[in-house]
Structure 1
Amino acid sequence: MSAPTLTSRQRARCRPDPVRWVVLIGLAVLAVITLVPFGLVALNAVKSPADYSQGGPLQPPNSLYLQGIIDFWVRVDFGEKLWNSTVIAGSVAVFAVLVSVVAAYALGIGRVRGRMWIIAIFLLANLMPQEALIYPLYYMAKEVDLYDTRLAVIIIFTAVQAAFGTYLLSAVLSRFPTEILDAARIDGAGKWHTLWRVVVPMSWPTLSVLLVFFFIWTWNEFFIPLVMLVSNENQTVPVALGVLQGQRLMDATTQSASALLGIVPAVVFFLLFQRTLTRGIAAGAVK
C-alpha cells in the first residue's frame, strides 16, 4: 500500500514561512527593548546605595536590599496613595463605561436628531488638552466645595473618558444588527430592557477593552490630580512620586524603588485582564 502523497497546498503549509519568522524575531527584539528599562528599575530597586555607587546602575547587587522600598513606602504612606489611585481609577472605569453605553445607545441605535454634531462635540472634547481645561475645572470644583476631594477627580475623569467611550461605542452600535433589535421589540422588550439584556451582553468584548483602558489611563494621570488633590491624604500614586522626586530627597536606589512601586499595580492589573483585553480586541477585529 503506497503512502499518501501531499498536495501542493499541504506542502506549502508545511514549508516554513520566512516572513513569519522575521516578524516573530522583530517582535521579540521589540519586547526585549521594552522590558530593558523595567529590568533596570527592578535591578536598582533592590540594590543598596553602596552597591550603586561602586558598580553603577548596570552591575547586579551583591545582596538583596529591600530597605529602599520599605523607606519609600513609609515616607509617602504608599498604602494610602495606592488605595486612592485604586478607588479613583476603578470608579472612573466603571462609571465612564456606564455613561458611554447609555449615551452611545441613544446616538448609535436611537438615532437622535443632530447625531453627527453631538459626536463631533465628543470628538472635540477628546482633542482638547488638559491645560486648557484645568482653570474652569478648578473654579467649578471650588464653587461646589469639591476641591481637594477624590469625588471631584472621579467626576472629571468620568466625563473625559466617557467622551472617548461615547465616540467609539456610537460607531460600534450604529452597525448593531437591526434584526436582533426588531426581535427584542416583537418580544415586548422596552428600550432599557433591550439595552441591558441584548446590547450590553453582545457588546461586552468592546466594553471590557474600554474598562481596562479607562483604568490604566486614569491610573497614569498626573496633571489634573496634581492640581485638584493638594492634601497628602488624597494624593494618587503618580502625584506622590512626582512631588517627592521633585523635592530631591531620595537617592538613586530609592527613586528606582518608587518607580517600581508606581508601575507594578498597573502592570498587575493589565496581566489580570490580559485575556479579557485580547478577547475583546479579537472580537472587534472579527466584527
Structure 2
Amino acid sequence: MSVIVTPTTTPGASNAADPAGGSPTPGAVSAAPAVRSRFTRGPGRWVVLVLVTVTALAVIAPFLLMLLNAFKSPSDYSTNGPLSLPTEFYTEGLTTYWNQVDYPQKLLNSIVISGTVAVAATVISLLNAFALGIGRVKGRVWIVGLFLLANMLPQEALVYPLYFFAKQVGLYNTQLSVIIIFTVIQSAFGTYLLSSVLTTFPRSVLEAARLDGASRWQVLWRVIFPITRPTLSVLVIFFFIWTWNEFFIPLVMLISNSTQTVPVALATLQGDRLMDAPTTNAGALISLIPCVIFFLIFQRTLTRGVMAGAEK
C-alpha cells in the first residue's frame, strides 16, 4: 500500500518563486496592486487633485474675467463692477477695437513678423549648433556661454543701442528691424539649447555617414536634421509665441500705424487718464484668439517634440 504525502503550504512562503524559473507567489502578485490601490485611493490623491484644480482655476480666472467684461457696456461696467454678469450682450466694444486700430492690418503684421522670426531663428540656431556641437569649434564652451549671457540680457538694456543703429542704417519704423532683432535674440537661446543636444550626438553615426562619402552639408540635412526635427518643431512654436507676445521693442521701433503689431495696437486703447475697460477687454480677447488657435493646431507637434526629447 502506497502512502501519498501532500505537502502543506503556507501563504507567501512555500509558494515562493523557484530560482530556476517558477511562478511567483500569490503574495508577491497581490502586493503591487495593494500598493497601487493605497496610492490611488489614499488622501494623497485628493490633495494632488485639489492642488491641480486650484492651479487650473487660478490660470483660467483672468481669461474668464476678460471674457466676462468683453461683452459688457461701459455704463454696466462702471455701475456693477468687473465681477458682475453683463445685463446685456454688448458687442460695440469689439467693433470699436476692430475699426479703431485696423485690426486686420495689425494681425497681418504680427503673423509676418512672428512667422519669419520663428523660421529664421530656428534655421540659424541649427547652423550655429551644428558648428559648435558637431564641428567642435575651438573655444565652443565660451561661445555657448556668450550666447547664454546674451539671452539673459534685459531688453531695456538693448533698446537704446538698437534704436540708434536702426536710425543709422535706415531700418527704423520698419518690420525688418524687429525681425532682425528678435531673430538674433531667439537664435541665441536656440543655439544654446541645440548645441547642448548635438554635443551628445553619437559619433558612430557621423563616422558612418562620412565613410559613405557624405559631405558636411549632407550630414547636416540628411542625418542631423531628421533626428532633431522634433526639437526644431518645438523651437518654432516657442519662437512664434514669444515673438507674438513681445511688446517693448516693437513699441519703440514701430511708430507708424501701418507697421505696428497686435500687442502695440492693444496698448493704444489706453490713455493717461482714461481707459475704456470693455473695449480693452474685447481687444484683448480678439488679440488672444489667433495665438490660441496656433497653439491648438500645433499642440500635437509640441507634445511629440517634448516626448521625443524626454525619450532620448
TM-score range, shorter chain: over 0.9
5+ residue gaps, structure 1: none
Number of the residue aligned with 2:211 = 186
265-274 or 107-116, which deviates more = 265-274
In the TM superposition, what are the counterparts of 1:126-165 in structure 2 within 5 Å?
Answer: 126-165=151-190
Q: CA deviation at 1:200?
A: 1.3
Letter in 1 for 2:296: L
TM-score of the superposed pair, with normalisation by structure 2: 0.86
1:242-261 aligned at under 5 Å gives the runs 242-246=267-271, 250-261=275-286
- Kindly indicate whether residue 32 of structure 2 is the aligned counterpart of residue 9 of structure 1: yes
Q: For the residues of structure 2 that align with 1:116 and 1:188, how far apart are their CA atoms?
A: 30
Query: 2:82 is matched with which residue?
Result: 57
How far apart are 1:247 and its partner, in Å?
A: 5.3
Deviation at 1:21, TM superposition (A): 4.2
Who wins on radius of gyration, i.e. which is larger? 2
Name the counterpart of 1:275: 300
Q: Is 1:119 matched up with 2:144?
A: yes
Deviations 1:202-226 (A, max 9, x none): 1112111111111111111111111
Higher RCO (C-alpha 8 Å, min separation 6): 1
Amino acid at match of 1:10: P
Aligned to 1:66: 91
Offset at residue 13 of structure 1 (A): 3.2
Q: Matches of 1:237 and 1:36 in 2, distance apart? A: 23
How far is the alpha carbon of 1:73 from its aligned partner? 0.7
Aligned equivalent of 2:59: 34
Structure 1 range deviating more: 178-187 or 73-82: 178-187
2:192 to 158, 167, 171: 167
| Paired positions, count | 284
- 2:10 maps to none
SS in 2 for 1:81: helix
Higher helix share: 1
Q: 2 CA distance for matches of 1:102 and 1:133?
A: 25
Distance 2:213 2:49 in 1: 52
Structure-2 residue corresponding to 1:205:
230
Counterpart residue type for residue 28 of structure 1: T
> What is the alpha-carbon distance in structure 1 between the residues aligned to residue 273 and residue 282 of structure 2?
15
Match of 1:263 in 2: 288
Could you tell me the percent identity over the aligned residues?
A: 59
Return closer, same or farther for 1:191/1:69 CA change in 2, 3 Å cut-off.
same
Question: Mapping of 1:220-235 within 5 angstroms?
Answer: 220-235=245-260
AA of the residue aligned to 1:23: V
What does residue 220 of structure 2 align with? 195
Aligned twin of 2:130: 105
TM-score, normalised on structure 1?
0.93
1:152 and 1:101 map into 2 onto residues whose CA distance is: 22
Relative to structure 2, which stretch is displaced further, 239-248 or 160-169? 239-248
**SS across alignment from 1:165:** helix
Deviations 1:36-67 (A, max 9, x none): 11001011101122332332212222332211
What is the CA–CA distance in structure 1 between the aligned matches of 2:49 and 2:306, rounded to whole Å? 20
What's the RMSD between the two structures over aligned residues? 1.8
SS of 1:214's partner is helix
- 1:137, 1:60 → 2: CA distance? 46
- C-alpha distance in 1 between matches for 2:68 and 2:305: 34
Other structure's SS at 1:232 match: coil
Give the superposition deviation at 1:179. 2.0
Aligned-partner Cα distance in 2 for 1:96–1:279:
21
Distance 1:28 1:197 in 2: 45
Residue 137 of structure 2 aligns to a residue whose secondary structure is: coil
